[in-house]
Amino acid sequence: MGFPLQQNSHDVSNPWRADFPILGNAEKAIAFLDSAASAQKPAAVIAAMDGVMETHYANIHRGLYSFSQQSTAAYEAARHKVAQFIGAKTDNEIVFTRNTTEAINLVAASWGAAHLSKGDEILITQMEHHANIVPWHMIAEKTGAILRVAPILDDGTLDVDAFQSLLGTKTKIVAFTHISNATGVINDAGALTRMIKARSAEIKVLVDGSQSIVHKAVDVDSLGSDFFVFTGHKLYGPSGIGVLWAREDTLNAMPPYQGGGDMIDTVSFTKGITYKNAPARFEAGTPAIIEAIGLGAAIDYLGALGMKNIENHEMALYRYLREEVSAIDGLTFYGDVADKAPLLSFTASWAHVSDIATILDQCGVSVRSGHHCAMPLMERFGIDGTIRASIGLYNTKADIDQFIDALHKAYKFLG
């Protein structure tokens, strides 16, 4: 399903776009440039989820009847697909959560509550999504730990020297994003992890891969982190499903995050309660069965296309976008560096970002405006938000042209 991309050519057709029904059903041409928030879904994912409900839906891990057995097999097959997709050594390293946010909350509440105490330090960065800030703030308040924040430079990249200087004998866990959702700046997660582990092998490292998993191949073993998290809805899968990866021994040493069915081994009022090993101990209650199967279908779809093909296509479009947008006066770009994801974040001197986004929408262009759940980053830049245009595998040169034309119209109307 992949196609050879001429990276220096902007006039490239996109046979993948037809795989996304929503893009062909709109009354007018839609240039959807908000995939960093949530991606559209290919027909293969929709069909897989419909197929479960139409042919064999039932609760899993409990029933001996055929529907339950089929659904259980499909759910666990999805776990296996995720494990292979990110290079996990065993399916038991894959915990299904609702999203990245829940995965980080799980680590903070489970590992954090068990290992953090007064005076211990948690290190994050100034570019984090709120999902990788608030859970650490909450566990710090509960345990008396101290939340440290590594600053960023004017170009939006991490101040690595300051980051390294904040690593100390009291640092217990470091959590950082692989790719900034607000600017597209890439952190070298492997190099940062090696730096952290060189300071102390006992420091735990969590990498938020919500944006990176979408654009390029990820191998958790080579990253060297202790935790890796991502969400399904950005990966062309459904909402309501996310992933926490950690090594099996790390997960089994962590106390349960929630209690209820499917995570228990035994329950007795007289003999006490015992819990299953990972991943079951972190999947209390009926899980997102259909959504997990949908995520597995999304991974099958991406695997057939090839992540390198996707990366090449998206970056060719981004280079074209960046070149064309430079002709518009009064724009300030954030995270405008060479090594970044296919995401453009900017403000305009001639209008507020929300007003521009409104006009873009009237022209059939979908972008995100605001702080992108990264208010500390916006505060660092001295702004209240940006316009963010993010590219997905289904985008085309025509989408970029539609965006540029709409931006010119906004400038003419508001400038």
> pLDDT digit of tens for each residue in the chain (415 aa)?
333 333 333 334 799 999 999 998 877 889 999 999 999 999 999 999 999 999 999 999 989 999 999 999 999 999 999 999 999 999 999 999 999 999 999 999 999 999 999 999 999 999 999 999 999 999 999 999 999 999 999 999 999 999 999 999 999 999 999 999 999 999 999 999 999 999 999 999 999 999 999 999 999 999 999 999 999 999 999 999 999 999 999 999 999 999 998 999 999 999 999 999 999 999 999 999 999 999 999 999 999 999 999 999 999 999 999 999 999 999 999 999 999 999 999 999 999 999 999 999 999 999 999 999 999 999 999 999 999 999 999 999 999 999 999 999 999 999 8
**Can you give the pTM of this predicted structure?**
0.95
Residue carrying structure tokens 């799980």: 106
Element (H, E) at 31: strand 31-32
Catalytic residue among 373, 375, 378, 414: 373
User: What token pair was written down for 401?
Assistant: 């042209």
Judge contact between 178 and 184, C-beta under 8 A.
no
| Residue 115 near residue 170, CB atoms below 8 Å | no
Single out the residue of 217, 235, 184 nearest to residue 35, CA to CA.
235
**Phi, psi of 388, rounded to the nearest 5 degrees:** -125, 120
Q: Per residue in 232-256, is it b (16+ CB within 10 Å) or e — as a string?
A: bbbbbbbbbbbbbbbbbebbeebeb
In a 10 Å sphere around its CB, with 0-12 CB exposed, 13-18 middle and 19+ buried, how is residue 265 labelled? exposed
Count of CB atoms within 10 A of residue 326's CB? 10
pLDDT attached to residue 3: 31
Tell which residue, 280, 259, 242, 324, has the closest CA to residue 10.
324
Q: How many CA atoms lie within 13 A of 155 on its CB side?
A: 11
Question: Is-catalytic flag, 363?
Answer: no
Contact 262, 283 (CB under 8 A): yes
Query: Nearest-CA neighbor of 81 among 306, 305, 296?
Result: 296
CA distances from 235 to 128, 220, 335 (A): 19, 17, 23
Structure tokens at 30: 């839609």
Residues 93-106, buried b or exposed e (16+ Cβ, 10 A)? bbbbbbbbbbbbbb
What distance in Å separates the CA atoms of residue 91 and residue 160, rounded to the nearest whole number?
34
- Copy the structure tokens of residue 403: 């965006």
CA distance 186 to 212: 8
The whole-angstrom separation of Cα 348 and Cα 396 is 24
pLDDT for residue 35: 98
Q: What is the largest CA-CA distance in the chain?
A: 75
What are the structure tokens assigned to 300, written together?
Answer: 């099958």
- What is the pLDDT, as a whole number, of residue 27? 74
DSSP code, position 175: E
Cβ-proximal residues to 121 (8 Å cutoff; 6+ apart), any chain: 145, 146, 147, 148, 168, 170, 171, 172
Supply 252's token pair: 């089994």
Within 8 A by CB and 6+ apart from 224, the residues are 190, 193, 194, 197, 205
Dihedral Cα 345, 37, 130, 155, nearest 10 deg: -20
Identify the three-state secondary structure at position 232: coil
Beta-bridge partner residues of 287:
none
Domains of the chain: 17-32+306-414 (3.90.1150.10), 47-303 (3.40.640.10)
